[in-house]
C-alpha cells in the first residue's frame, strides 16, 4: 500500500500533524513510533502546565498527549509502536521508508509525503567535557525523569543539578517531592535557561538555590558519584580562581541543552541549518526534499508544547497541499538573524502558500531589557515585536501578516534586536 | 587445585588464558573487577602499531611487528573489528625528518613490512586534512586500529568456551607459596594453583611482592583522550602520530575502528593507580597539541573525554627504566610475571601469548598434553547495523528481538544485548553491555538507552532494576531504590 502521509514519530508534533493531515483530507496516514506507546516525551512529563495556549487549561504531559491520541483513535489513524525507522529515501514522487519492529520484521513502505517529528535529545556530560571521574550517578535530567516517572525508581538522594533548562528545574522539584535533597542548581550563564514560572514553582517554592554564573569544575567518585566541585565564572565564562566549593552528592543531573535529532534527516540528504541543528524549513515546514516536512523539536527546540502542536498543524496542511499539487515551490522570502537574534524559523517563505500571516519563531542570544525585535526587508522596517523583557529561554512568536509581506516582491526578512523607537 | 591461575583478565591475562587452552590444563582466570578488560585494556589508543619504534634488542621490538601481522587471523577467529588503516609519523622540519629516517631504519631492523618515507605532496594527497606545514612522513601500511576491549572480552569468552574458569570480582589480597603450589587469597573464594601467571596490569608489582622480593616497580602514567562523533570520523584515514621527541610520543589523531575519531594521550605520572580523573588543564593540552597536525578538528563534535593509565616498568634499582616488558619466570619458581605490559602490548599480544605458553609454561610442565578439542573461534556476533537488508529481514524472522532497536545512536538491537548477557564471560553491568555492543557509546551517551539496558539486564539476570550496576559490583549503583508511589503500592 502507498500511504499519503507517513509521520516519523508519535510525540506531540507527530500526533498533531497526523490529526491535521487527516482532517485536511489525506486518506491514508500512518504514524511510526519507536517507543512502546504514543505521546513521546510527554509521557514522562507528569507535572502540569501543558496546554495553556491550546486548551486554556493546565494539563499534565500525559493528559495533553491524550487529547491528541483520542483524536488519532477517533480518526482511525493507524500507528506502529516499537518501530524504528532506519532510512528515508527519495524516489521522486514517492518516498520509501525502511523500518523494523518485532512483529513485522523489516518493512519498506512508500509514502507520497513524509513528516519528520523525531524530537530532540539532551546534551550530555561528554559533550560539555566536565573534568574528573566518570562514576555512575551522572544522568541527563530527562533520563532521571524517565527512571522516576516511568520505571518507579529513584536515581539518588543528594542531588546537584547543572544547567537551569526547564527539565532540570522540573526535576529539582520532582526529586525534592520524592524526598531527595536538591542542594543547588548551577547555571553557567548569568541568567536562567528555563521559563520564569518554572524557577518560581520549582526552585523558589522549595528553597532550592539557583547559582547563576556557576559551573562544575570536577566530578568526584571512582565508582558512584561522591560530590562535585563548583566554582564561579566571570563574564567570559572562565572559572574565577579560589571560588571553588565542594558539594557532597550522589547524583548529578544535567540540563544543559537539547539537540534536534536529525540522523534520518541528514542521511536522507536534507539540508540542515547549523543554527537550529534542524532542517531548513518553509512556512508550511517543507524541507529541501520535496514532499518531506518537519515540525516540532526536530526543527528547533521549543519551550512550550503548545507551539509544537501549532507548528505541526502547518506541516500537516503542507503535506496535504503537496499531495494535492497545491503547494507553491517558489521561495519569495528568506529570513536571517541579525544582531541579538540566534535563529529564525521558518528560514524561507513562499508567499503563495500563506493564508493570512506567518508566525516567525526565534530566540534572542542574551537577555535584553526595554528593547524590541524589528523585522526589515532591505532598509524598510516592516514589523515590530514588543516584549517587556527578551530572554533566551523564551521563544518569541513574531507574526507578520500576508498583507504586509505582499507589499514586497521578494527579499530577505532580517530580524534584529534594537532600542525601541 | 588448578594447574594454572592467571591473575588479571585484561588483554594479556585473557589472551594468555585462551592460548593455554591449546593444552589440557585446568586454568582459572581471576580479576578483581566486575568485568574482564576493565582497566588499561578499556582506555588506551586502540592502535595495532606497525612496530618501528621499539629497539630490536628489546622484547617490545621483537614482538610488535610479528604480533601485528597476526591480527587479521586473530580478529577473524575472535570476531573483533579490525582495520589495517596504516599510520603516518609526520614531520614539520628537517630535524624531524632526521628522526623519521631513524625510525625507518629501526623499522627495517624489526622486520616491519612496507615502510616508506613520504614527501610533502604524497602526505597531503593521502591525508588532505593535515596541517599544510607538514613536510614529510613515515608511512607504515601495516598499522591498524582495533577494539581492544572487544578483543579482550572475546579472548576471555573463547578461553571459557575452551574450558577456563573465569572468576571476576575476585580481588587478590595475598598469595601463599606452599612450594609446590600457590594459595591465592581473594575477596571471593580462595584459589589453589600449581603455577601462577601474574598479568595484573598496574598492580603486577604489588602482586609479585606477595611472593617474592620486589625487582621491578610499575609507575602509572595517565593519558587523556577525546572521542568525537562519527560525523568527524572521516577527518583522517590513518593514524597520525607526531614526530617523537625527548618529551615523548606526542598527541596522536586516529580514526577508531567503529568510525569515530580519537585524539590523545598525554603522559602524566600519577601516584594513585586508580586515578582516572581528567583535568581541564590536561584536556586543553590535548586539544592544543592535536591541532598542530590536524588544524580542522571540530571540537563541538566531542562526545566523550576520559583518561587511561599506562604501567611503565622500572627495574632492579627502581631508579631507571629500560622501558621493556617483563615477561619471564620470576625468581620464585612456578611464578611467571607478565608485567610492565604497556604499549605496544596490544599489538604484540598474539606473539607474546604464544611465547609465554610455548617458551615459558610448556617447559615447566612435564607431560603436557595437547587439547584436540581446542576451538579458536568464538560464535559470531550478529551486528544488526552491519548487516545487509536481506540479512536484516532474516535475522528478525529468526529472532524478533533483533527487530527492536534499544540504542538509537548506534542502532543496537535487544537481540544483540540479550546475546552478550548470556555468552561466556557475559555482561553483568551497563558498562559491560556498552563495551560488548556499543549501546551507549554514541552521541547521546546512553541518555535514551541506559534505562532500557538496565531493564533488559534485570530481566535476563532475574534481579531487580536497582540491583543492576553501572560498573563495579555494589559500589557503582545506578538507582537508589523505589519511588514513594511504588513503595506505597507495595
Q: Which CATH number fits the domain that encloses residue B28?
A: 3.50.50.60
- The total of structural domains in chain B comes to 3
Contact A105 B397 (CB under 8 A): yes
Q: How far apart are CA B10 and CA B205, in angstroms?
A: 16
Q: Answer yes or no: are the C-beta atoms of B92 and B289 closer than 8 Å.
A: no
Block means of pLDDT (10 residues each) for chain B, length 490 residues?
98 98 98 97 96 94 97 98 98 97 97 97 97 98 98 98 98 97 97 98 97 94 96 96 88 97 96 95 96 96 94 72 86 96 97 98 95 97 96 96 95 98 98 97 90 97 96 94 85
Q: How far apart are CA B50 and CA B88, in angstroms?
A: 10
B265/B408 same-domain check: no
Expressed in angstroms, the distance from the first to the final Cα of chain B is 47
B404/B415 same-domain check: yes
Q: What is the pLDDT of residues A15-27, one digit of tens each?
A: 999 999 999 999 9
B415/B431 same-domain check: yes
B225/B300 same-domain check: yes
B95/B165 same-domain check: no
Q: Is residue B73 one of the residues assigned to a domain?
A: no
Q: Look up B482 and say whether it is catalytic.
A: no
Q: Answer yes or no: are the C-beta atoms of B182 and B193 closer than 8 Å.
A: yes
Q: Is residue B276 one of the residues assigned to a domain?
A: yes
Q: How far apart are CA A291 and CA B6, in angstroms?
A: 62
| Domain boundaries, given as residue ranges, for chain A | 1-122+259-327, 124-256, 330-421
Q: How far apart are CA B302 and CA B287, in angstroms?
A: 11
B300/B391 same-domain check: no
State the nearest Cα–Cα gap between B209 and chain A, in angstroms. Answer: 26
Chain A with chain B: Cβ pairs closer than 8 A:
135
B303/B426 same-domain check: no
Q: How far apart are CA A241 and CA B222, in angstroms?
A: 25
Q: Do domains A1-122+259-327 and A124-256 have the same CATH topology?
A: yes
Q: How far apart are CA B24 and CA B6, in angstroms?
A: 16
Q: Is residue B48 one of the residues assigned to a domain?
A: no
CB-nearest to B393 from A106, A132, A157 is A106
Give residue A421's pLDDT band: very low, low, confident or very high (50, 70, 90): confident
Q: Is residue B286 one of the residues assigned to a domain?
A: yes
Q: How far apart are CA B74 and CA B93, in angstroms?
A: 38
CB-nearest to A126 from B302, B478, B482 is B302
pLDDT at res. A89? 97
**For chain B, how many helices (H) and strands (E)?**
15, 23
C-alpha cell at B256: 577508531
pLDDT at res. A339? 96
Alpha carbon separation from B126 to B85, B240, B348 (Å, rounded): 12, 11, 27
Substitution target from A46, A97, A102 for chain B, most B beta carbons within 10 A: A102
Alpha carbon separation from A265 to A91, A97, A115, A173, A318 (Å, rounded): 15, 12, 11, 35, 18
Q: Is residue B429 one of the residues assigned to a domain?
A: yes
C-alpha cell at B23: 593444552
Q: Answer yes or no: are the C-beta atoms of A268 and A287 closer than 8 Å.
A: no
Contact A34 B408 (CB under 8 A): yes
pLDDT at res. B247? 77
Contact B392 A121 (CB under 8 A): no
Residues of chain A positioned with their CB less than 8 A from the CB of B447: 121-122, 124, 140, 142-143
Q: Is residue B66 one of the residues assigned to a domain?
A: no
pLDDT at res. B210? 98
Q: How far apart are CA B92 and CA B123, in angstroms?
A: 12
B233/B137 same-domain check: yes
Q: Answer yes or no: are the C-beta atoms of B409 and A267 closer than 8 Å.
A: no
Q: Which residues, 6+ apart, have CB-to-CB distance to B222 below 8 Å?
A: B266, B267, B268, B269, B270, B275, B276, B282, B307, B308, B309, B310
B170/B120 same-domain check: no
B257/B343 same-domain check: no
Boundary-marking domain end, from B281, B310, B339: B310
CATH number at residue B484: 1.10.10.1100
Q: Which CATH architecture has domain A124-256?
A: 3-Layer(bba) Sandwich (3.50)
Q: Which CATH architecture has domain A1-122+259-327?
A: 3-Layer(bba) Sandwich (3.50)
Q: What is the pLDDT of residues A358-386, one digit of tens each?
A: 999 999 999 999 999 999 999 999 999 99
Q: Is residue B459 one of the residues assigned to a domain?
A: yes
Range of the domain at B453: 384-489
Q: Is residue B58 one of the residues assigned to a domain?
A: no
B328/B346 same-domain check: yes
Amino acid at each position: 500500500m502507498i500511504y499519503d502521509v507517513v509521520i516519523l514519530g508519535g510525540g506531540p508534533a507527530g500526533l498533531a500533524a497526523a490529526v491535521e493531515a487527516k482532517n485536511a483530507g489525506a486518506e491514508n496516514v500512518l504514524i511510526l513510533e519507536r517507543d512502546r506507546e504514543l505521546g513521546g516525551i510527554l509521557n514522562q512529563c507528569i507535572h502540569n502546565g501543558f496546554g495553556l495556549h491550546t486548551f486554556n487549561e493546565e494539563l499534565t504531559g500525559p493528559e495533553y498527549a491524550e487529547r491528541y491520541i483520542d483524536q488519532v483513535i477517533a480518526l482511525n489513524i493507524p500507528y506502529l509502536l516499537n518501530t524504528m525507522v532506519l532510512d528515508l529515501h527519495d524516489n521522486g514522487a514517492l518516498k520509501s521508508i525502511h523500518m523494523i519492529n518485532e512483529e513485522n520484521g523489516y518493512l519498506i513502505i512508500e509514502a507520497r509525503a513524509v513528516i519528520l517529528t523525531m524530537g530532540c535529545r539532551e546534551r550530555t556530560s561528554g559533550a560539555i567535557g566536565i573534568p574528573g571521574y566518570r562514576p555512575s550517578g551522572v544522568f541527563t535530567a530527562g533520563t532521571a525523569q524517565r527512571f522516576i516517572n516511568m520505571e518507579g525508581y529513584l536515581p539518588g538522594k543528594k542531588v546537584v543539578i547543572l544547567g537551569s533548562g526547564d527539565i532540570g528545574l522540573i526535576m529539582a522539584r520532582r526529586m525534592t517531592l520524592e524526598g531527595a535533597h536538591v542542594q543547588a542548581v548551577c547555571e553557567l550563564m548569568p541568567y536562567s535557561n528555563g521559563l520564569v514560572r518554572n524557577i518560581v514553582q520549582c526552585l523558589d517554592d522549595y528553597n532550592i538555590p539557583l547559582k547563576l554564573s556557576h559551573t562544575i569544575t570536577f566530578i568526584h567518585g571512582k565508582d558512584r558519584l561522591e560530590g562535585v566541585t563548583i566554582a564561579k565564572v566571570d563574564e567570559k565564562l572562565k572559572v574565577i580562581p579560589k571560588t571553588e566549593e565542594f558539594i557532597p552528592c550522589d547524583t548529578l543531573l544535567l540540563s544543559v541543552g537539547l539537540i534536534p535529532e536529525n540522523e534520518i534527516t541528514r542521511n536522507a540528504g536534507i539540508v540542515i541549518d547549523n543554527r537550529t541543528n534542524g532542517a531548513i524549513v518553509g512556512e508550511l515546514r517543507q524541507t529541501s526534499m520535496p514532499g518531506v516536512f518537519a515540525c516540532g523539536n526536530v526543527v528547533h527546540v521549543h519551550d512550550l508544547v503548545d507551539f509544537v502542536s501549532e507548528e505541526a498543524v502547518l506541516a500537516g496542511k503542507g503535506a496535504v497541499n503537496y499531495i494535492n499539487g497545491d503547494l507553491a515551490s517558489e521561495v519569495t522570502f528568506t529570513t536571517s538573524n541579525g544582531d541579538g537574534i540566534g535563529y529564525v524559523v521558518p528560514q524561507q517563505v513562499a508567499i503563495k502558500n500563506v493564508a493570512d500571516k506567518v508566525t516567525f519563531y526565534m530566540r534572542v542570544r542574551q537577555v535584553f531589557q526595554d528593547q524590541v525585535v524589528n523585522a526589515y526587508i532591505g532598509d524598510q522596517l516592516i514589523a515590530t515585536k514588543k516584549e517587556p523583557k527578551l530572554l533566551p529561554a523564551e521563544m518569541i512568536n513574531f507574526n507578520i501578516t500576508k498583507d504586509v509581506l505582499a507589499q514586497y516582491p521578494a527579499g530577505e526578512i532580517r530580524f534584529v534586536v534594537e532600542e525601541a523607537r | 587445585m588448578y594447574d594454572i591461575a592467571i591473575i588479571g583478565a585484561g588483554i594479556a591475562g585473557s589472551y594468555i588464558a585462551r592460548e593455554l587452552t591449546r593444552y589440557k590444563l585446568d586454568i582459572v582466570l581471576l580479576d578483581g573487577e566486575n568485568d574482564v578488560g576493565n582497566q588499561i585494556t578499556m582506555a588506551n589508543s586502540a592502535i595495532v602499531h606497525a612496530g618501528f619504534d621499539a629497539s630490536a634488542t628489546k622484547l617490545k621490538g621483537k614482538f610488535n611487528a610479528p604480533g601485528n601481522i597476526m591480527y587479521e587471523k586473530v580478529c577473524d577467529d575472535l570476531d573483533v573489528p579490525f582495520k589495517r588503516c596504516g599510520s603516518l609519523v609526520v614531520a614539520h622540519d628537517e630535524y624531524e625528518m632526521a628522526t623519521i629516517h631513524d625510525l625507518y631504519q629501526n623499522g627495517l631492523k624489526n622486520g616491519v613490512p612496507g615502510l616508506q618515507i613520504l614527501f610533502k605532496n604524497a602526505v597531503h594527497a593521502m591525508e588532505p586534512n593535515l596541517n599544510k606545514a607538514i613536510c614529510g612522513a613515515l608511512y607504515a601500511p601495516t598499522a591498524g586500529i582495533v577494539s581492544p576491549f572487544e578483543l579482550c572480552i572475546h579472548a576471555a569468552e573463547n578461553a571459557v568456551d575452551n574450558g577456563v574458569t573465569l572468576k571476576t570480582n575476585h580481588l587478590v589480597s595475598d598469595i601463599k607459596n606452599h612450594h609446590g603450589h600457590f594459595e591465592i587469597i581473594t575477596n571471593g573464594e580462595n584459589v589453589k594453583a600449581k603455577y601462577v601467571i601474574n598479568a595484573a596490569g598496574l598492580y603486577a608489582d604489588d602482586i609479585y611482592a606477595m611472593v617474592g622480593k620486589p625487582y621491578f616497580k610499575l609507575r602509572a602514567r595517565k593519558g587523556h583522550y577525546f572521542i568525537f562523533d562519527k560525523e568527524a570520523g572521516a577527518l583522517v584515514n590513518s593514524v597520525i602520530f607526531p614526530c617523537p621527541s625527548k618529551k615523548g610520543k606526542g598527541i596522536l589523531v586516529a580514526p577508531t575502528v567503529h568510525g569515530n575519531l580519537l585524539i590523545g594521550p598525554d603522559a602524566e605520572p600519577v601516584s594513585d593507580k586508580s586515578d582516572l580523573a581528567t583535568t581541564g588543564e590536561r584536556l586543553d593540552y590535548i586539544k592544543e597539541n592535536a591541532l598542530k597536525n590536524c588544524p580542522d578538528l571540530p571540537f563541538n563534535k566531542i562526545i566523550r573525554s576520559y583518561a587511561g593509565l599506562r604501567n611503565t616498568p622500572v627495574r632492579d634499582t627502581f631508579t631507571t627504566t629500560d622501558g621493556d616488558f617483563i615477561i619471564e619466570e620470576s625468581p620464585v619458581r612456578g611464578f611467571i610475571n607478565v608485567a610492565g605490559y604497556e604499549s605496544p602490548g596490544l599489538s604484540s599480544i598474539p606473539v607474546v601469548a604464544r611465547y609465554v605458553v610455548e617458551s615459558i609454561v610448556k617447559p615447566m610442565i612435564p607431560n603436557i598434553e595437547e587439547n584436540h578439542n581446542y576451538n579458536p573461534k568464538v560464535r559470531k556476533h550478529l551486528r544488526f547495523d552491519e548487516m545487509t537488508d536481506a540479512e536484516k529481514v532474516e535475522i528478525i524472522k529468526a529472532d524478533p528481538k533483533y527487530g527492536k532497536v534499544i540504542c538509537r545512536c548506534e542502532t543496537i538491537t535487544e537481540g544483540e544485548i540479550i546475546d552478550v548477557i548470556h555468552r561466556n564471560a557475559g555482561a553483568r553491568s551497563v558498562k559491560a553491555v556498552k563495551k560488548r555492543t556499543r549501546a551507549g557509546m554514541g552521541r547521546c551517551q546512553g541518555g535514551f538507552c541506559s534505562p532500557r539496558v538496565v531493564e533488559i539486564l534485570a530481566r535476563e539476570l532475574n534481579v531487580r532494576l536497582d540491583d543492576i550496576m553501572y560498573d563495579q559490583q555494589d559500589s557503582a549503583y545506578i538507582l537508589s531504590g523505589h519511588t514513594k508511589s511504588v513503595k506505597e503500592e507495595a
